[in-house]
Structures are given as C-alpha cells and as structure tokens.
Structure 1
Amino acid sequence: MSTYTLGTSEPLTFHHELSFFSCSEEKLDRWLCNQALKDHDLGRSKTFVVCDPADEGVVAYFTLSLEVIETKQSIPQSVRHMLPKGYPKSAAVPAILLGKLALDQTIQGKGLGMELLGEARFKAKEAADIVGGLFLLVDPAKGKEGFYEEAGFERVPDTNRMYQSLIDA
C-alpha cells in the first residue's frame, strides 16, 4: 500500500485545474467539469477539492448540501432514538447530504476513499455546528453501499439512503 495521503480539501474555485480529473465514472467527471462550479456559485451545493501538491491538479472531490427530512414521522423508528431528547414530533429534521465523492483513477485502490470520506464528515460536522444538522446522509451508487457501511453508515429501511449521526461526532 502506498504512503500517499490526501491533503486538506478546499472550496472549488475557477482557478482549480479540472480537465485531467478522471474517476472512471464519466458522469462524475462531467459533473465536476461542467456543473460543480455553477452549483457551488448558486449555493445549491458546495464542492470541495483536494489537489495534488506536485501539480495542483484536482485528485479528489466531494459535495455537500443541506437536506431536510420533512417530519420526524418520516424517519424510521430505528433512527428516531438518535434525535435529541425533546425534539418536536412534527418538526423537520435538518441534515447534510453528501452528494458526490470521487477519487481520480491515479490514486484509487490506496485506501484513500475512507480518508476523503473522513474529510467530508469533518466538513459536514463543521457545517452542522454552524447552521444545524443532525445527520449526514448519502444515496450511494449501486455497489457502493458496503463502503459506506464499513464507514459506519446505516441504511434507512426501504430506501437506498444511508445515514450517520452528526450529534457528538
């Protein structure tokens, strides 16, 4: 296993070199090059990138956005126990959605996905501490559920969605 480690993430700007990024999933590559900065600037989501210190090219990215679970009743019973004591029964539940997470092909297979997920969790927790948020949510791509389970995410029954508490994270 390589000793390569990811650097700290930073918000995406027009200065970042995106053209060489390739994670082997064309739709994620295209989204990063064509849509990420637009969504970032519009406030729809925030994209964070990690650059290779040698050439400043983007080697990893993730996106975070706000999400609201409309009512406590729509949260499975198995998750409700994680809400703070006294949380209003009919209140919406704020969360942070991890929308995208990708590593360039050149650094895949080195265990860096968990490192990037850890960085995304850290940023999500920072955001939740500022604006509120009780859960980190993800809608994993088909076949990626095990990765998130290994990282401690739990499945929301009868959906593709997975969650992890941000309370005391």
Structure 2
Amino acid sequence: MEIHLLNSSHDRKAFDCGNDEMNAWLRQMARQQADKDLIKIYVATTADEPTKIAGYYAINTTSVLTEGMGGQKLPSNVPAVLLARLAVDASYKGQGLGGCLLMNALELAAETAELVGIRCIVVDAIDDNAAQFYQHYGFEPLTTDPYRLVLHLHTVRTLLQ
C-alpha cells in the first residue's frame, strides 16, 4: 500500500466503506474542502490499482476543551490535530489497513508537532466499534463525551518508537 494526498486521478465514486455518510463526504466534499486548505485527505492505494482508493483519512487542526481530560493543569483549550475521518473500503476490511492509516496519521501529527504546538490528537468516533478501534491504539475518551477520544502527543511518540 502507498499513502499519499488525494488528487484528481483517484476514483472517489467507487469507494464504499459501508457508511453512506463517509462515502458521500469523500465523493462530494473532500476535494472542495482540500482545495480551500481546510483539510488534507490522504488515500491508500496499491501499485496494481493506483486510482482505486482502498482507504482514506482526513486531518486538520483544532483546539480541544481540556474539561474532561483530567491530569495536568492546562489552559481551557489546547491545540490539537483532528483526525476528522478514517475509512476503509469494504473490499479491504479486516486486512489491517485501518491501523496502517491511523499510524500514518499519527506519524504526520508527530512531524507537525515538531513545527507547531500540539498537545494531542483528537477523534470523534461515529459509533461504539469506532471508539473501540481507537481505544485499542491508546486513545482515551473524554469524561464529558465518550465518543470524543484523545491521544496525548507523548503517547504518540512512544507508539512510533
């Protein structure tokens, strides 16, 4: 698998992860938001089918309310990377691609943190299965919202070593 930025050669219409909202966003909104520099979308493709999207993630920056994080005394908001979307085409599910995409996003977040202040990576899980997926990689739910999960940057660095 190769992971690179979404471009016009990628076949967004053929992507189907089984979630209509995630499919529709990729087909109808992804390029427009990327063209406005609101988000970056990374896609996984194979050498055999370089235009077929096997999976994707979308990433940008945000700030997170620290209420519900616990731990250290922090300002009321901290800078973060938002993993806005992550999806795998149904034909590639169960092959570890979701974890591969997540690790790529975490690497990108760690690289970004070398240039700008970032406290954590945040994700809004769409359901219990998604929340469990992220918790498997060390994300912790906020006490104020069990579907908003955070992974502190120091944990990211440990995961990537």
CA distance in structure 2 between the aligned counterparts of 1:37 and 1:163, rounded to whole angstroms: 26
RMSD: 1.8
Calculate percent identity across the aligned residue pairs: 26
Deviations 1:115-155 (A, max 9, x none): 22111111121222223211000010112211111111011
Structure with the higher strand share, 1 or 2 = 2
Deviation beyond 3 Å, 4+ runs, structure 1:
74-77, 89-92
Matched, 1:12 2:6: yes
User: For residue 136 of structure 2, what is the aligned residue in structure 1?
Assistant: 150
Question: What secondary structure, in the 3-state scheme, does the structure 2 residue paired with 1:127 have?
Answer: helix
Query: What count of residue pairs does the alignment treat as equivalent?
Result: 153
In the alignment, structure 2 segments of 5+ residues that lack a partner are none
CA distance in structure 1 between the aligned counterparts of 2:132 and 2:5, rounded to whole angstroms: 28
Q: Which has the larger radius of gyration?
A: 1
TM-score, normalised with respect to structure 1: 0.82
Deviations 1:83-103 (A, max 9, x none): xxxxxx547411000010000
User: For residue 127 of structure 1, what is the aligned residue in structure 2?
Assistant: 112
2:62 is matched with which residue: 51, 64, 67? 67
Structure 1 60/77 Cα, relative in aligned 2: closer, same or farther at 3 Å? closer
Which stretch shifts more, 46-55 or 90-99?
90-99
TM-score, normalised with respect to structure 2: 0.86
Structure 1 77/40 Cα, relative in aligned 2: closer, same or farther at 3 Å? closer
Question: What secondary structure, in the 3-state scheme, does the structure 2 residue paired with 1:38 have?
Answer: helix
Structure 1 91/58 Cα, relative in aligned 2: closer, same or farther at 3 Å? same
User: For residue 52 of structure 1, what is the aligned residue in structure 2?
Assistant: 46
Tell me how far 1:20 sits from its aligned partner.
1.2
Question: Which amino acid letter does the alignment assign opposite residue 78 of structure 1?
Answer: G
Contact 1:21/1:58 (8 A) holds in 2: yes
Question: Which amino acid letter does the alignment assign opposite residue 92 of structure 2?
Answer: I
In the alignment, structure 1 segments of 5+ residues that lack a partner are 1-6, 82-88
